[in-house]
Amino acid sequence: MTRVAVLGATGAVGQRFIQLLSEHPEFDIAALTASSSSAGKPYHEAAKWRVDTPIPEAVRDVEVVETDPDAIPNDVDLVFSSLPSSVAERVEHGFCEAGYVVSSNSSNERAAEDVPLVIPEVNAEHLDLIEVQRDNRGWDGALVKNPNCSTITMVPTLAALTDFGLERVHVSTLQAVSGAGYSGVTSMEILDNVIPYIGGEEEKMETESRKLLGEFDGSEIRWHDVDVSASCNRVATLDGHLENVWAELSENPTIADIYEAFEAYPSQELHSAPDPLIETFDEPDRPQPRLDRFLGDGMAVAAGGVQETPAGIQYNCLAHNTIRGAAGASVLNGELLARDGWL
């Protein structure tokens, strides 16, 4: 069993980490951290538990500690981070300097040249960038990122299309409120409404996609030259980001080719990796957030509605934004780090 710590364990994504880790066969929760105002309290008091399964007994009375490398046990081998981006860089660097390997969901440094941005089923080999990172930064530890929840929903499907000559992508997102955190979207903003803007989200989708689909040449990631244009919307769903995608391709695959490419796209042999990674639907009105977000225990990507367009194809995809798109993504990266010997 790998001993793990969760930084920022009381927030919305932190609670999903607890839920996923409390029954994990390879990971053992050794420390939960939060801000100094929560340190010293038992977890059930520090966190306002809002997941719809009960708070796991094993963490209920665990004493929360400060978010500091000195506050966690020495035998911790892997640190999960879900901190506000305003403080994440400083804190994460501190842990990396202290020798910890950090699997982070925070948005800082995702585009940095020497930080691996990884979806294990898509670009596991980017993890080798850790060597470059350690050289550059002089760390014993390492910092690995997973992408933004809206990016992670789409990129597995794009990865399945690269053999058809992926040239340009238009994507419109219908994102759930949980993506903004527990208090991120007020009810007055979203009841009987849509907000056609999420700050910074479109840029994240446009840049992260290109890095994820890029190739690591031993010293750097050569970004894919696909041109991505995103339009991001917040809608009144609790969980599950749905996305309308248009992909312009240099080849001319049939609709059947596309479905086959999605279904045949390989998964990884990791505990949290779903198989298949991409679940497809023939019905034109699927996937739908409420019905399909829990496919693969919330770790699968659902796709459907494939149609031909004059310049390529269009389709819809969906993933659970706080599982596959956040906590589950970091846990999966942690499993990959363990399997490939980086801990």
**Residue 50 is a binding residue for a second copy (CB under 8 A):** yes
Contact (CB, 8 A) for 174 and 233: yes
Torsional class of 240: left (φ above 0), alpha (ψ -120 to 50), beta (otherwise): left
**Residue 128 is a binding residue for a second copy (CB under 8 A):** no
| Residues 6+ positions from 11 with CB-CB distance below 8 Å | 82, 181, 182
Candidates 52-60, 150-158, 215-223, 261-269: pick the segment binding a second copy (CB under 8 A). 52-60
Pick the closer one to a second copy by CB: 39 or 291.
291
**Residue 311 is a binding residue for a second copy (CB under 8 A):** yes
Contact (CB, 8 A) for 158 and 230: no
Pick the closer one to a second copy by CB: 108 or 322.
322
Which one of 23, 188, 250, 282 is in contact with a second copy (CB under 8 A)?
188
**Residue 252 is a binding residue for a second copy (CB under 8 A):** no
**Residue 245's CB: how many other CB atoms inside 10 A?**
24
- Give the separation between CA 104 and CA 6, rounded to whole angstroms: 10
Supply angle C-alpha 47, 9, 208, rounded to 5: 130
Candidates 39-47, 67-75, 132-140, 279-287: pick the segment binding a second copy (CB under 8 A). 279-287
Helix (H, G, I), strand (E, B) or coil at 7: strand
Pick the closer one to a second copy by CB: 183 or 250.
183
- Give the separation between CA 96 and CA 19, rounded to whole angstroms: 25
CA dihedral 123, 16, 134, 200 (to 10 degrees): 70
Which one of 132, 177, 249, 319 is in contact with a second copy (CB under 8 A)?
177
Pick the closer one to a second copy by CB: 193 or 252.
193
For the chain, the C-alpha Rg in angstroms (whole number) is: 19
CB of 334 to a second copy, least distance (A): 26
| Distance set, CA 111 to CA 82, 84, 211 (Å) | 17, 17, 8
Candidates 92-100, 124-132, 263-271, 307-315: pick the segment binding a second copy (CB under 8 A). 307-315
Give Dmax (Cα) for the chain: 61
CB of 246 to a second copy, least distance (A): 5
Candidates 61-69, 108-116, 215-223, 229-237: pick the segment binding a second copy (CB under 8 A). 229-237
Pick the closer one to a second copy by CB: 76 or 228.
228
CB of 32 to a second copy, least distance (A): 21
Which one of 187, 218, 282, 341 is in contact with a second copy (CB under 8 A)?
187
**Residue 236 is a binding residue for a second copy (CB under 8 A):** yes
Candidates 38-46, 77-85, 137-145, 165-173: pick the segment binding a second copy (CB under 8 A). 165-173
> Distance between terminal CA atoms of the chain?
12
**Scanning the structure block, which residue is given the tokens 């023939």?**
282
CB of 17 to a second copy, least distance (A): 17
CB of 180 to a second copy, least distance (A): 8
**Residue 282's CB: how many other CB atoms inside 10 A?**
9
- Give the separation between CA 334 and CA 323, rounded to whole angstroms: 14
Catalytic residue list: 149, 241
- Give the separation between CA 171 and CA 198, rounded to whole angstroms: 14
Pick the closer one to a second copy by CB: 37 or 53.
53
Distance of CA 186 to the CA centre of its chain: 24
Residues that bind a second copy (CB under 8 A): 12, 50, 52-54, 168, 170, 172, 174, 177-178, 182-197, 227, 229, 231, 233, 235-238, 242, 244, 246, 284-291, 294-295, 304-305, 309-311, 314, 316
